[in-house]
Structure 1
Amino acid sequence: MLKMSSQLDTIISAYKTLAKIPSIAGGKLNNAANRVNAKWSVRNLDKGKTTKYVTTYRLDEALNVTDQCEFGSDVSNELLSATSPRETFKAIIREEKTGKDTKKQYLEVWNKHTLAQCIDLTALDMHGDVYADSEFGSLDWNQDETAVVYVAEKKPPKSEPYIKRKPEEKPKADGSGETAIKKGEEYLYRQDWGEQLVGKHLSVIVVFKLATETLTVLDGLPESWTPGQVRFLPDGSGVVGVAWETEPRRLGLIFCTNRPSYIFSLTLDGTMKKLSGEGLAVRSPRYSPAGDLVWLQRKAGGPHHACHQLVILKKDSTEVKTITDIVDTEVKTTGGDSFFGLYNQALPAKCFSTDGRRLVLATPQKNEVRAYVVDIDSGKITDISNKSSPCSTSVLDVRCDTVLATCSSLTTPGQLYIARLPAQGSEADIKWVLVGSNMAAPADVATSTSEYLQLEHQDSQDSIKSFTALYLAPKAEGKKLPLIVWPHGGPHGNFVNAFSMEAALFSMLGFATTRVNYRGSIGQGEACVRSLLAHVGDYDVQDCYLALTTLLQQKELCNKNIFLYGGSYGGLITAHLAGLYPHQFKAMVMRNPLIDLATKGHYADNSDGCAVEAGYDFSEKGPVSDEHLLTMRRCSPIAHVHKVRAPTALMLGSGDKRVPYFQGLEYARRLKANGVTTRIYMYEDNHSLSAPASEMDNLINGAHWFMEHLQL
């Protein structure tokens, strides 16, 4: 008991230390690019929530910090904020709790001196909650600073039972336009957009005019469209945005860039145009200073995430042209480096050079996020990443030919950097200047070894044979380290060399980790992404096992203390490994693992992924195919559950719509029936288990599970 208490004390102490390290949640430059507003996020353990705050830095001509505000300003209740083009106003969507389960939302407009306007959006009852998520959310000013636009939940029609005693109805003559109450529809099923978008069914575009303090819900879009990511047209006559189809049904959007959608324009008086083509999945429209519109697009359907094109619709043109195409394997940048295509979920809100001829973005590339300048006319790509040390460089803002970015690595928390964009053709000469960092990593993490692994299957006939991995290990001091094999979820995601609380926690506790970017991961070419289709439970498992055997040969690791750790699709891979190599692994921790594609497909918000990954087109038309169900079952780890011997802890979310928790429960029942030591944790949370209380508990208990099963 004393040993267990000591282990827990060590884990809790490490977690508390890491929880104090803030992460960069965003950053903006002012128009003159001599002031930086940085938004930070930090875990507030006593409040049981995340605190967000803003710090301000003033810069001189050389971009050196001349003044930093002494204290941060808490902005935790700000959902969205946007500064007007001439920096006359700032608009804020603010949410305040009014009771245990009640809240109010406000639209505030501030000038430089005071709060100019405050609109109680909840009291007006024109729409539901304002959307502030990464898929739909937006808040944008028109150029003359007279109006803002945002997206909110469409107000549902009122309904009542067929039989209800009430006062006699009188005809309305007030011209309110309120719709008639519908009888018998209060229990009508309304599908939402799934994981982390629960309660979002249909959205509307809302314009607020400052002079009259009036809100207008724009009309003109098809009823089956859900709009989002809106912003004003350059002349303010309307908006441009993305609209997703809701028929025949909604499929989950979070981490899924493959949903059928359109770029559209909509005038304030209701005239709509489709700007993108058919059969596409589109996102992130941005206007250049020249009035050209760019966005990201790929074919709809297929893997949930994949390589994108960067396309442009020139001002006064109707032809969409490609700037950067989908990259099958690799192409070369202007400096001769390998470039594997665009996999970013969005473009920076401000991403253009002053003249509009260049665009700045960041995208995953193998083991890093790298920053690039794209020449819009020639399509040439130049790497402008921070190369002072191996790290990931993510672009936050571009103003006045100045780039603001965040850089971090597995051993260094996020730091703000700024740079002047060199003249066209000389972008590779960019010089990054450190703006600020709020806290260093603990010494145990900062001194850890971090390496990139490039691995390849020898004598393989597969079309794609190579993949990558990250290795992080604390100072060994002559001891052989335990190793955690850790595949990412997705499956079409990736691990990058950026600060991770989980990886840092394991390093502080004396574990080495290998985070595997198996075939199917993004950032290595479109061919790599699609190579996993019809090979799930095969290529990915082979890759993780090759990473393990390679590290056992090359590093000072204890082969009696090998552990498995994975969430979602990463859980599928760990479960496969535990079943196929039952005597190799000492223990296993899984978070909301995907255990059986055949049953997940019936209930998950992204059921199409089960079909696509198993190797066939998704369709719900016609009869159910026994062959397809058997194919999904055979590539699922439930097929090997009877062989598993590793003690297993499962962390499950009762509100998970991506991998319903019964997947983990079924796996646990079968493990217990076969005599495997098993423990289940159930959280009132969604797929990510990222709510502060859930995160704290599952990380501490997961680490403790490994430490309990260490063979000394």
Structure 2
Amino acid sequence: MSLLQEKRSSPFFDEITELPAPSGAAFRGTDGNVLRVKFSFNDRERKIKRSSVTTFFVAEDGSSASTSSFDASDVLASAVSPSGAHQVHLRSVADPDNGSKKRRVVEVWKDSRIIASMDVTDKHGDFHTDAFLSSLSFSPSETALIYCAEPNGDKDTEKTDPYQKWRFVPHGGEGMSKKKRSAIYLFRWSQPTASSTPPFSKRSGDDMSLSLLKPSDIQGLSLPDLFGQAIFASEDRIFAVGYKQTKDGRMLGLRGCFSRPVGIYALGISSSLGTYIVSAISMISDPTKSCRSPKILRNAEGTPVRLFWLSNTTGKAHNGCTTLHSIALTRDSEILGTSRVLVDSVWDPEPDAFPGLYVNMLPEHPFVSARDSTFIVASSTWRSRNVVLLIDASSGAVRNVTPSADETGGHYTWDLLCTDGKRRLVCSRHSPARPWEVLVGTLDDAGEVRWNVIHKTMVSTALEAALSELEVSVVPVPGRPSVETIVTRRRGVSEARSKPYCVSIMHGGPHSSSSSSFWHYTTGFALEGYVTSTPNFTGSVGYGQKFIEDLLGNCGSRDVEDCMASVRRLVDLGIADANGQFVAGASHGGFISAHLIGQHPTAFKAAALRNPVISLGDLSSDMPDWFFQENGFSYGPEALMRPEMYTKVFAMSPIAYVDDVRAPVLIMLGEEDKRMPPLVHGKEYYHALKGRGKVVEMLMFPGQGHTLDGVEATRVGWEATRDWFASVAQED
């Protein structure tokens, strides 16, 4: 009989996974006092992800009132114009003639009316709304906007090249397998020189145009293969991010990777026969850096002053300490002078010092001001939590404006949602014991931020009481500088055992982090009575670049021993029982978990692995460079896994320890995983364990990728892990 049998329902898990999480926000209206916050949530009944928008009126002093909420599930992306007068929505709506199909629509609103709308279903493929390729920017005159989408096939080329339809084009990798030819589209509904129009006049089809901006029309230049993150600088100038294929024809996986050959480009545009074309293009960033997130600072008159962007080092860890750059612009948005580093990488910070920037993307409008100073606002990882930083746009001085745990009474992690471009910033905060709150911070003349809570997640009385019993702490691991773990547990747990079981949950990456956040996985197990431990081991971000690079060439040893040391530390402190240990992890977290049960076979009672890395010699991933660089080898277009290299990495892989595994193992795989293809990782491990008579079970999730974050996969994955551990515990 299988160990995987349903034991009982969890009283709070369904409610936890359906709680709406803030995922974005924007101020609307010319007075800037209307705030719309977008929330995302799982609809368990319909098995889909949905979103809603709640409107708040926020006064100058930060006080607020909620006015209404509405369903926004068909809105794929939104943006507010610089003046606050206009808003654009990219929608996916039901086809009125065929309800099973979707139509793509671009809508521009002014106040409560649509002033321009175009069905673009036949113009191009899917909108690109992910963090890496998405664009949604108004022109300075607010008479046009740009966005990114998948262009249709070139029918003219197909007429002259019968093989064009089948020629190989690499895609963007995990989670982006349908994105191969991202392009910039310019939608114009009025001319910038036209006189102001009546407030609610709606444009007709003849007044509007949609142009595909094709840099490929310019000959003799080495051009990017994908464009994204495009922003208007002036009516005839755009800055955008360009992604290039490698010399050997790969488009290395983009999602979660910040070491790719990516640059910032300036595109000049002009009008020709009623459409817009790219008339000039140049790369303005350092070609040895991986750059992203261009943002323009304008003065009070709306004139561009400086361009800012983020970068990471190429050729090393796929994520690391971020550098902030800036360069001056002329009134016509031309580049003036050379760029400078505003905030540099931090190598090895003191324990309480600024550990460097770890910012994936800057917000749509990242600037706020106090007196004569302008600041860039960013949310960044700082050890075991995310914080909100103010970065002086002139000097680069960095200040943490996040209240401490002592001030708030909880180990919150903070996420920046938006700013009003003036003095206010909107954030969410949450911890393993407290779901999301939305706060408005107001910057005073002295540069201090005053915070006001405007929204708290509504939970049932029973869940609120259960969450109030949880306590969160950050436990350093002695003898291992910077290594620490976040512990969540119930106060006063009463069980037959002297101490509750402990679940160590390893984060993936490995260059990401565990943060003190509200996450269904850790909170769910803590409410079940487990102690949960989420360590930040060598290689985690938020502790300086040295801590990241110390893992390169040491995977399977340094990270594994850090995590084992965290287990021993909790035992020594009396928080956990040495004989009551479980381990779980996804991706590189699954790699560590599989290593732990192989290298320390008597330490853990059971393991649960989600899309784990099992064999470091396999290169079928969308990021083959990961396997070289993490193992201490250089990567280039001619790289091959040679026999002597494979011998080394086999010894560094969990599969090398499969004979020693004693703990029952549950494996969960997404059939569409492009990052760690299940055939050569999870399935290989399953068959190796099965062939040796080990206790192992495997669940396969059709249509799911590396993150296994679908509504049903989220529920089944957590419940299966709970039941797996519960079955083993019953035999104790």
The answer, yes or no, to whether TM exceeds 0.5 is yes
Distance in 1 (CA, whole Å) between partners of 2:458 and 2:291 is 38
- The residue type paired with residue 51 of structure 2 is K
Counterpart of 2:208 (choices 191, 209, 213) is: 213
Paired position in structure 1 for 2:354: 339
Contact 1:469/1:547 (CA < 8 Å) preserved in 2?
Answer: yes
Q: Distance in 2 between matches of 1:681 and 1:365?
A: 36
Q: Which residue of 1 aligns with 2:276?
A: none
Query: Does structure 2 retain, via aligned residues, the 8 Å contact 1:655–1:686?
Result: yes
Q: Report the residue type matching 2:166 in the other structure.
A: Y
Equivalent pairs, count: 671
Structure 1 residues 181 and 476: alpha-carbon distance in aligned structure 2, compared to 1, 3 A threshold: farther
Q: CA deviation at 1:116?
A: 2.3
Offset of 1:226 from its aligned partner? 1.1
Q: Distance in 2 between matches of 1:247 and 1:104?
A: 35
Answering whether residue 454 of structure 2 is matched by residue 435 of structure 1, we say yes
Paired AA for residue 396 in structure 2: G
Aligned runs of 1:85-484 on 2, under 5 Å?
Answer: 85-98=82-95, 102-123=101-122, 125=123, 127-158=124-155, 180-211=159-190, 212-220=207-215, 222-233=222-233, 235-248=234-247, 249-269=250-270, 270-290=279-299, 291-316=305-330, 317-330=336-349, 337-354=352-369, 357-387=374-404, 388-389=408-409, 390-399=411-420, 400-423=422-445, 426-427=446-447, 429-440=448-459, 442-457=464-479, 465-479=481-495, 480-484=499-503
CA distance in structure 1 between the partners assigned to 2:503 and 2:19 by the alignment: 23
Check if 1:18 corresponds to 2:16.
yes
Task: State the shift of 1:51 in Å.
Answer: 1.4
**Conserved in 1, the CA contact under 8 Å of 2:364 and 2:418?**
yes
Which residue in the other structure is 2:302 paired with?
A: none
Q: 2:545 aligns with which of 516, 523, 526?
A: 526
**Cα distance, 1:622 vs structure 2:** 6.3
Query: How far apart are residue 623 of structure 1 and its match?
Result: 5.8
Equivalent residue runs for 1:660-679 within 5 Å: 660-662=677-679, 663-679=681-697
1:76 and 2:73 are equivalent in the alignment: yes
**Equivalent residue runs for 1:23-34 within 5 Å:** 23-30=21-28, 32-34=31-33
Structure 2 distance, partners of 1:116, 1:538, is: 60
Q: CA deviation at 1:617?
A: 0.5
What SS class does the counterpart of residue 41 from structure 1 fall into? strand
Distance in 1 (CA, whole Å) between partners of 2:17 and 2:163 is 50
One-letter code aligned to 1:372: L
1:240-283 CA distance string (max 9 Å, x none): 11101123221001000000111111011321121101211001
Measure the CA separation in 1 of the matches of 2:355 and 2:44.
Answer: 40
Match of 1:165 in 2: none
One-letter amino acid matched to 2:186: V
- 1:509 aligns with 528
Match of 2:48?
49
Q: Which amino acid aligns with 2:682?
A: G
Residue type at the aligned position of 1:451: S
Work out whether residues 456 and 466 of structure 1, in 8 Å CA contact, stay in contact via their aligned partners in 2: no
Match runs of 1:549-560 below 5 Å:
549-560=568-579
CA separation of 1:381/1:366 partners in 2, compared to 1, >3 Å: closer, same or farther?
A: same
Tell me which moved more, 216-225 or 687-696.
216-225
Determine helix, strand or coil for the equivalent of 1:473: strand
Partner of residue 543, structure 1: 562
> In structure 2, the residue corresponding to 1:491 is in which secondary structure?
coil
The Cα shift of 1:86 comes to 2.3
Q: Distance in 2 between matches of 1:330 and 1:694?
A: 39
Aligned amino acid, residue 353 of structure 1:
V
Code of the residue aligned with 1:283 in structure 2: it is R
Q: Which amino acid aligns with 1:378?
A: S
Matched position secondary structure for 1:688: coil
Cα distance in 1 for residues equivalent to 2:4 and 2:660: 29
Q: 1:114, 1:653 → 2: CA distance? A: 43
Could you say if the C-alpha distance between residues 443 and 555 of structure 1 is closer, same or farther in structure 2, counting changes exceeding 3 Å?
farther
Of residues 700, 708, 712, the one that matches 2:727 is 708
> By how many angstroms is 1:475 displaced?
2.5
Q: Which amino acid aligns with 2:690?
A: K
- Given residue 394 of structure 1, which amino acid in structure 2 is its aligned partner? D
AA at the equivalent of 1:280? K
- For residue 477 of structure 1, report the CA deviation from its aligned partner: 3.0
Kept after mapping to 2: 8 A contact 1:137/1:229: yes
| Aligned 8 A contact 1:34 1:63 in 2 | no
Superposition pairs of residues 502-651 of structure 1, within 5 angstroms:
502-599=521-618, 601=619, 603-621=620-638, 624-651=641-668
Cα distance in 2, alignment partners of residues 19 and 379 from structure 1: 39
**In 2, Cα distance between the equivalents of 1:549 and 1:622?**
40
1:561 Cα deviation from its structure 2 partner? 2.0
Aligned-residue CA RMSD in angstroms? 2.1
1:561-608 deviation digits (Å, cap 9, x = unpaired):
210100000000000000011111111100000000102x2x100110
Unaligned runs of 5+ in 1: 159-176, 459-464
Q: Which amino acid aligns with 2:141?
A: D
Moved more, 345-354 or 256-265: 345-354
1:144 positional shift: 0.9
In structure 2, the residue corresponding to 1:492 is in which secondary structure? Answer: coil
Extract unaligned runs of 5+ from structure 2: 191-206, 217-221, 271-278, 300-304, 331-335
Conservation of the 8 A alpha-carbon contact between 1:109 and 1:116:
yes
Residues 231/4 of structure 1: CA separation in 2 closer, same or farther (3 Å cut)? closer
For 1:604 and 1:262, the matched residues in 2 are separated by 24
Q: In structure 1, what is the Cα distance between the partners aligned to 2:700 and 2:345?
A: 41
Report the more deviating stretch, 554-563 or 585-594. 554-563
Counterpart CA distance in 2 for 1:636 and 1:439 is 45
Rounded Cα–Cα distance in structure 1 between residues aligned with 2:260 and 2:185: 24
Q: TM-score, normalised by structure 1?
A: 0.91
Counterpart check, 1:688 vs 2:707: yes
1:24 corresponds to which letter in structure 2?
P
Name the aligned partner's letter for residue 92 of structure 1. Answer: H
Give how far 1:146 is off. Answer: 0.5
SS in 1 for 2:12: helix
How far apart, CA to CA, are the structure 1 residues paired with 2:418 and 2:701? 36
1:636 and 1:449 map into 2 onto residues whose CA distance is: 36
542 and 410 in structure 1: CA distance in 2 versus 1, 3 angstrom threshold: same
Task: State the one-letter code of the partner of 2:379.
Answer: A
| Further displaced range: 356-365 or 147-156 | 356-365
* Deviation of the 1:356 alpha carbon: 6.8
Query: Are the equivalent residues in 2 in contact too, given 1:285–1:296 (CA < 8 A)?
Result: yes
